[in-house]
């Protein structure tokens, strides 16, 4: 019987804990090419659940599913200057194919704007063809020097949505809708609180007019970017000649957007909710929401206990709860540890006392709270507890984030925060690239976003003292 190995404590060494918990719960492991990742069944089940959940929301945006080639001619990327400059250090290049050296190197897609918009220039003729909204689920490659499971991998999985519109206003609406979709997903499904806002000029997507993001604070005080939604303006349209004939017969360039969420979201979820015992999966995303463990100490009642466990299983399954019955020969204690490690939201224990009382012991993964619930109402109560747990995870994440969001009114305060607690810092910044670069160099803090609900105010840039009209979020 394999033992549940000791994992590093989250509170003592979060990176060590993160690697331990991911490997020991068998989510993923390192691939043989540095920076790549092998998704084992338990890890890929999470991505399948995310795809299922997000795909419904994406189709509600009006997006149609497509698939574009993995291979992009190098010349395509070079067409938009900011774009190629942004991606150059991260590219994987195919130089040989079919046993021969290629005349033009081929790029393994780091994102698909260029190859898609070349197609848009053929697909779009008039306003009748607009808006054009598409989405693809794909693997993309960006060379990663310091790989870290889920959060920084050379190949990662994502969805990328792209759209073309008649006007900038319509593009702005879609950028906002996509952003809201992601905010909802992170909050309601993954249970992670964060701030949505606009990226600075230096942090925005290469080739975009503006980039919006959802930024989440992790327990180690570091910030993870959860998604992006870009207004690309007419930048790519001009380069790839994506034009349409309007109602008046006038030819114009389209206004474009792109937006994506990647497998990095799983990394954020693990960091945000896990504890010293392992993963804590939000019920909405957990492939198994409830595990039933029969306690078969008195063998004389074994069959009766198994029968009650089976009855419970059927009741929950009929209520569309994702339930697993583990009647394998491992000890109950081993199973408790194992399913705690794997982050299963609820555990139901059924032993002799449960058999006699008809009240089943239900233990919550996040709080460790135990309740006894009568078999007659088990499915209703389980649904309630799953909902409570989902809400609780978001609340906890919100409290943590708000507690660790601090205002710094001068550079001294700013530095103190970065040297001690870290977390989010709200500070006035003049929006000049040089102040931003120096703050980053001296404190390691980057501008995360200008929150969408920020109120225009006035103050002085914490770095240069010049007038600033917004408190930006650093982290």
Min separation Cβ 248 and a copy of itself, Å: 18
CA-CA-CA-CA dihedral for 296, 300, 301, 307, to nearest 10:
90
Distance CA 358, CA 336 (A): 21
Distance CA 190, CA 263 (A): 12
Residue of 16, 60, 81, 88 interacting with a copy of itself (CB under 8 A): 88
User: Is residue 244 part of the contact set for a copy of itself (CB under 8 A)?
Assistant: no
- With respect to a copy of itself, which residue has the nearer C-beta, 96 or 241? 96
- With respect to a copy of itself, which residue has the nearer C-beta, 99 or 249? 99
Residue of 99, 300, 456, 458 interacting with a copy of itself (CB under 8 A): 99
| SS3 of 150-176 | CCECCEEEEEEEEEEECCHHHHHHHHH
- With respect to a copy of itself, which residue has the nearer C-beta, 108 or 237? 108
- With respect to a copy of itself, which residue has the nearer C-beta, 144 or 383? 144
Nearest to 401 by CA among 419, 385, 422, 417: 422
CA-CA-CA-CA dihedral for 350, 352, 357, 361, to nearest 10:
-30
Min separation Cβ 64 and a copy of itself, Å: 4
Those residues whose C-beta lies under 8 Å from the C-beta of residue 186, and which sit 6 or more positions away, are 192, 193, 194, 214, 216, 226, 227, 265
- With respect to a copy of itself, which residue has the nearer C-beta, 12 or 99? 99
Site for a copy of itself in 28-47 (CB under 8 A): 29, 31-33, 36-41, 44-45, 47
Distance CA 361, CA 380 (A): 15
* Residue range at the interface with a copy of itself (CB under 8 A); choices 94-102, 270-278, 307-315, 458-466: 94-102
- With respect to a copy of itself, which residue has the nearer C-beta, 174 or 216? 174
Residue of 4, 57, 68, 220 interacting with a copy of itself (CB under 8 A): 68
Distance CA 3, CA 331 (A): 11
- With respect to a copy of itself, which residue has the nearer C-beta, 2 or 455? 2
Those residues whose C-beta lies under 8 Å from the C-beta of residue 377, and which sit 6 or more positions away, are none
Phi and psi based region of residue 278 (left: phi greater than 0; alpha: psi -120 to 50; beta: remaining): left
Site for a copy of itself in 113-142 (CB under 8 A): 115, 118-119, 122-123, 134, 139, 141
Residue of 7, 106, 296, 355 interacting with a copy of itself (CB under 8 A): 106
Binding mask 154-193 for a copy of itself (x = CB under 8 A): xx-x------------------------------------
| Contact status, residue 194 vs residue 423, Cβ threshold 8 Å | no
Min separation Cβ 465 and a copy of itself, Å: 38
Residue of 64, 276, 358, 395 interacting with a copy of itself (CB under 8 A): 64
Those residues whose C-beta lies under 8 Å from the C-beta of residue 111, and which sit 6 or more positions away, are 87, 140, 160, 258, 260
CA 252 to chain centroid, in Å, comes to 36
Distance CA 190, CA 449 (A): 21
| Contact status, residue 297 vs residue 352, Cβ threshold 8 Å | yes
Residue of 82, 93, 377, 433 interacting with a copy of itself (CB under 8 A): 93
Length reported for the chain: 475
- With respect to a copy of itself, which residue has the nearer C-beta, 114 or 231? 114
> Is the Cα dihedral 150, 156, 159, 160 positive or negative?
positive
- With respect to a copy of itself, which residue has the nearer C-beta, 38 or 380? 38
The pair of structure tokens assigned to 199 is 């990226």
* Residue range at the interface with a copy of itself (CB under 8 A); choices 82-90, 173-181, 224-232, 350-358: 82-90
Binding site for a copy of itself (CB under 8 A): 29, 31-33, 36-41, 44-45, 47-48, 64-73, 76, 88-99, 105-106, 108, 115, 118-119, 122-123, 134, 139, 141, 143-145, 154-155, 157
């Amino acid at each position: 019987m394999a033992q549940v190995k000791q994992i590093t404590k989250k509170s003592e060494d979060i990176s060590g804990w993160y690697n331990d918990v991911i490997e020991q719960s068998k989510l993923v492991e390192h691939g043989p090419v540095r920076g790549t990742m092998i998704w084992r069944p338990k890890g890929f089940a999470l991505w399948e659940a995310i795809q299922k959940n997000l795909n419904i929301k994406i189709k509600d945006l009006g997006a149609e599913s497509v698939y574009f080639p993995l291979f992009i001619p190098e010349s395509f990327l070079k067409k938009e200057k900011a774009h190629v400059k942004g991606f150059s250090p991260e590219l994987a290049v195919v130089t040989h194919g079919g046993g021969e050296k290629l005349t033009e190197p081929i790029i393994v897609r780091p994102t698909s704007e260029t190859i898609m918009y070349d197609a848009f220039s053929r697909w779009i003729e008039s306003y009748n063809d607009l808006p054009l909204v598409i989405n693809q689920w794909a693997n993309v490659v960006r060379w990663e020097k310091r790989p870290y499971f889920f959060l920084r991998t050379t190949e990662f999985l994502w969805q990328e949505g792209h759209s073309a519109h008649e006007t900038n206003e319509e593009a702005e609406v879609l950028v906002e809708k996509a952003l809201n979709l992601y905010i909802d997903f992170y909050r309601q499904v993954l249970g992670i609180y964060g701030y949505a806002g606009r990226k600075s000029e230096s942090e925005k997507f290469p080739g975009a007019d503006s980039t919006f993001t959802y930024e989440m604070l992790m327990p180690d005080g570091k910030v993870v970017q959860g998604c992006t939604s870009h207004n690309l303006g007419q930048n790519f349209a001009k380069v790839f000649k994506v034009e349409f004939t309007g109602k008046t017969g006038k030819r114009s360039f389209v206004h474009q957007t792109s937006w994506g969420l990647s497998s990095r979201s799983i990394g954020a979820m693990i960091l945000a909710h896990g504890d010293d015992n392992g993963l804590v999966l939000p019920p909405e995303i957990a492939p198994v929401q409830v595990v039933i463990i029969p306690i078969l100490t008195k063998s004389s009642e074994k069959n009766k206990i198994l029968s009650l466990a089976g009855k419970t299983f059927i009741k929950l399954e009929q209520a569309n709860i994702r339930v697993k019955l583990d009647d394998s020969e491992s000890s109950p204690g081993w199973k408790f540890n194992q399913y705690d490690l794997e982050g299963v939201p609820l555990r139901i224990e059924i032993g002799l006392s449960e058999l006699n009382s008809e009240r089943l012991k239900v233990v919550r993964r996040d709080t460790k709270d135990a309740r006894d619930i009568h078999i007659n109402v088990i499915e209703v109560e389980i649904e309630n507890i799953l909902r409570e747990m989902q809400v609780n995870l978001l609340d906890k994440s919100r409290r943590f984030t708000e507690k660790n969001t601090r205002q710094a009114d001068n550079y001294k305060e700013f530095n103190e925060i970065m040297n001690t607690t870290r977390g989010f810092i709200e500070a006035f910044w003049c929006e000049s690239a040089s102040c931003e670069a120096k703050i980053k160099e001296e404190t390691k803090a980057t501008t995360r976003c200008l929150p969408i609900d920020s109120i225009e105010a006035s103050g002085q840039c914490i770095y240069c003292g010049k007038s600033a009209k917004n408190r930006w979020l650093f982290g």
